[in-house]
Structure 1
């Protein structure tokens, strides 16, 4: 009798202090707990349970909880059902580890507004006695593995929609090195997009919400894809390359010159409208769907601004100062037949004994012959407005008198997901070389310089007398990992962090030019390379 009265008293006491909790609050907290247990709980992180199935089991109980107390009780019972955890005493290591903790924050587990004291204590105990063996769901170098595979993604099933969001959010939460640099906190992004996952207005809005969700990473390496997005934005793209200047799309080249001739598309044409909508408005309408570390990188992405569901589009454009209209053909990617072979000259001597190297086509095997040709040049221009072929270390041996540090990297600490560790040593560039090149070194960069391009610029930047000319790069250095979240839904993002030797960021900032130069509409129409022209001028007079 006394025991029954005590239980009733405890229940009454709890209810008197409990408060309502919204569906978004409950599911945001559940997402965090589910991800935390997946990577920390010894009986979960070892892969001994079907963790998706466990989520599907707990969701109905979470839905039934109306107050914070009921919610905490449901989560506590769930955690208890996972089995006991043995406490252990961590061995002290003599090894000094330089941690990078800007992303690491498990303080949410101590949120008294959502979690009971006993639940927070349970979560803290799990953190302190986390799995000691290998992670089952993530491997070294960041590889998401051993996820339950499904024959198809059922987007009509709320549980599957939540599973997708929970997986995606926790991948980023624990394994995206630049999480701390997002414009919006990742916690707030979860809260913002949960309602569109729980009760999507339409199928189209649901997939658009996922595309927006991905764009919140502010990472040019990020790319969310699903076949149904092509049904929304279309599969037909333009047959020519453009650069956005002053909210206009200027034709700069051809993906397929023969197809462009069909519609008489010419380099220098200035497209002002597509289907009656200005390029500026198209950018404003679609910017939230475009992944990019900075605005320049966003403008460099043709999808979805220039895509459509039909194979014809009406454009308004300016040619020879005359406004015109025409209907142009658009093509599916497979029909564009893009010729990726670059027949540009690998390197050459320009006027005034200035060397020029196009790193898009230069290979490591070419470097020694090239540098022999350039050894008496007044300056060498390395064009990195492209994706290089892994020549950075070979070139650096000719540009430096001795080895130089040029990068500092961080890697995920899989023993404590969310935490990163500074590498003890990154490979320097260059070698002891008293006969190193002593002239000016000039690097050309722009928004097309991404990832290995930026890494190459960092490598060559440390050479004496180096000057960078051009515009902000894509701001996404480090390894790009592309993977499937669930059947038919894929994404990617940067998985290890790249910094300067002084630990200053390159992510989002990119490689900052010493001399800012961008192409102009007139320059493109005249067939000029204004960035290269500025580099030649600098090589001649040093300013």
Structure 2
């Protein structure tokens, strides 16, 4: 009798102190625990369980739990069913490891205001006795693998929608090196987007939410794609290139010149409205869908959201020669644009005043010796990196430096403790012992199209003597860009190892900061001028 009373008192005590949990709270916690177990629990991270199926089975039990205590009991029973975790004693290593821990935080597992004390203890024990072998779901260099593949993604099934979100969120949680630099805390992003996953107001809104979710990474490498997303924004493209300046869209070139002529679109035309909406309105409406590390990168990436369309034609308002006009223009399927990606620009040449110019979009490593021989007595060399280079950075650096130089410091994921990163012991320096190195001025041209390897190239060349960077803010993303399928038909990408300056200062989001900032103007584009190159030539002439 006494024992029965004690049990009843204990249960009453627990019930009186338990708190109700919302569906969002329960699912956010489930997402985090599911991901933690996936990469830490020895009997899960080894691939011996069908981890998607485990999620599908636990979700109804999570839904049925009404309080934090009931939720903790559900999770504890689930963990118990996964098998015993053996305690082990970690080997003491004499090797010094320089950890990068700005992303690494498992303190949430000890949140006693949300989890029971016993659940917290279980999660802590798993962390302390994590898997010791290879990860089944992620490989070296970061490769998501061995996920269950489905013949199709059923976006009408709540469990499948949750699985896609849980996979995506945890990929970023444990394997995105710049998570700490996001504008919004990643936990809050999960809470924000769960309701639109649980009960989307429409199929379109569901896919919009995933695009917004991807943009929250604040990473110019980030990307989310799905066929149904383009079904909304449209599969038809305009045949010309756009640059956004002062909330206006300026035509800067042609994807297909003949189709642009048919529509009487000319370089320098200033488009002020599309289908009755101002460019400023369209930027405000769509910038939440454009992935980018900074505002310059977002504007560079937003064109598709504004200028793609599902119809064949539409009305635009534009300004030409100071006069405003309205006309109907055509949109075309991508295949009809017949874009030739071959760049026939000159690889290198002399400009006025014995100034060398190299276009790194087309210059190859094999071209470098002949180019530097030709430029060895030039007054200055301008390297144009407003593009994606062809891997010439180390070859060029050998001619610019008197000795090897450190220009980068990198971090790699520690797969033994997912979420933690490690500073590389040594990154490859650039340059070599070269007493005959180039001694003239070196000028680097950069802008928002300087992204990833472009920025890495600028970092490589920037450490040489007498280097000046001219242009505007770069895309602010460096490191490996990894593209993967979240689940059938849903593609994403983001950066998976981190790149910093040798003093460990960030490049991500900041990009390469110009010594002399200059941006193209609407008038300059209309006059056919390259104002950034003009400024570089002026600097080469007078040093200022």
For this structure pair, what is the TM-score category when the shorter chain's length is used for normalisation? Answer: over 0.9
1:322 matched to 2:348? The reply is: no
Distance 2:351 2:320 in 1: 32
String of CA shifts for 1:71-101, please: whole Å, max 9, x gaps. Answer: 1111011001101011011001111100000
What is the 5 A alignment of 1:238-253? 238-253=238-253
SS at match of 1:231: helix
In the alignment, what sits opposite 1:120? 120
Distance 1:195 1:293 in 2: 26
Q: Displacement, 1:16?
A: 1.1
In the alignment, what sits opposite 2:472? 471
CA contact (8 A) 1:470 1:516 kept: yes
In the alignment, what sits opposite 2:169? 169
In the alignment, what sits opposite 1:94? 94
Q: Displacement, 1:7?
A: 3.1
1:266 matched to 2:262? The reply is: no
In the alignment, what sits opposite 2:443? 442
In the alignment, what sits opposite 2:505? 504
Distance 2:162 2:304 in 1: 27
What is the 5 A alignment of 1:390-469? 390-469=391-470
CA contact (8 A) 1:179 1:186 kept: yes
In the alignment, what sits opposite 1:108? 108
In the alignment, what sits opposite 1:310? 311
1:374 matched to 2:375? The reply is: yes
Moved more, 105-114 or 394-403: 105-114
RMSD across aligned positions (CA): 0.8
1:68 matched to 2:68? The reply is: yes
Q: Displacement, 1:248?
A: 0.5
Distance 1:139 1:335 in 2: 40
SS at match of 1:313: strand
In the alignment, what sits opposite 2:185? 185
**Once superposed, which parts of structure 1, at least 4 consecutive aligned residues long, lie more than 6 Å away?**
none
Q: Displacement, 1:11?
A: 1.5
Distance 2:30 2:323 in 1: 59
Distance 2:35 2:7 in 1: 32
What is the 5 A alignment of 1:485-504? 485-504=486-505
For structure 1, the residue ranges without an aligned partner over 5 or more in a row are none
1:383 matched to 2:377? The reply is: no
Q: Displacement, 1:8?
A: 2.5
Q: Displacement, 1:4?
A: 4.1
CA contact (8 A) 1:214 1:291 kept: yes
Q: Displacement, 1:3?
A: 4.7
In the alignment, what sits opposite 2:85? 85
Moved more, 230-239 or 436-445: 230-239
The 1:6–1:335 alpha-carbon spacing in structure 2 relative to 1, beyond 3 Å, is: farther
SS at match of 2:412: strand
Distance 1:46 1:90 in 2: 19
Moved more, 299-308 or 140-149: 299-308
SS at match of 2:237: coil
Distance 1:190 1:219 in 2: 17
Q: Displacement, 1:2?
A: 5.0
In the alignment, what sits opposite 1:342? 343
Distance 1:306 1:499 in 2: 35
Q: Displacement, 1:102?
A: 0.3
Q: Displacement, 1:9?
A: 2.6
Distance 1:250 1:19 in 2: 57
1:17 matched to 2:17? The reply is: yes
The 1:303–1:4 alpha-carbon spacing in structure 2 relative to 1, beyond 3 Å, is: farther
In the alignment, what sits opposite 2:540? 539
Distance 2:159 2:321 in 1: 57
CA contact (8 A) 1:290 1:303 kept: no
In the alignment, what sits opposite 2:135? 135
SS at match of 2:485: strand
For structure 2, the residue ranges without an aligned partner over 5 or more in a row are none
Distance 1:305 1:257 in 2: 20
In the alignment, what sits opposite 1:209? 209
Distance 2:185 2:438 in 1: 46
Distance 1:48 1:333 in 2: 44
Distance 1:125 1:254 in 2: 60
In the alignment, what sits opposite 2:527? 526
1:194 matched to 2:203? The reply is: no
- TM-score, L = length of structure 1: 0.99
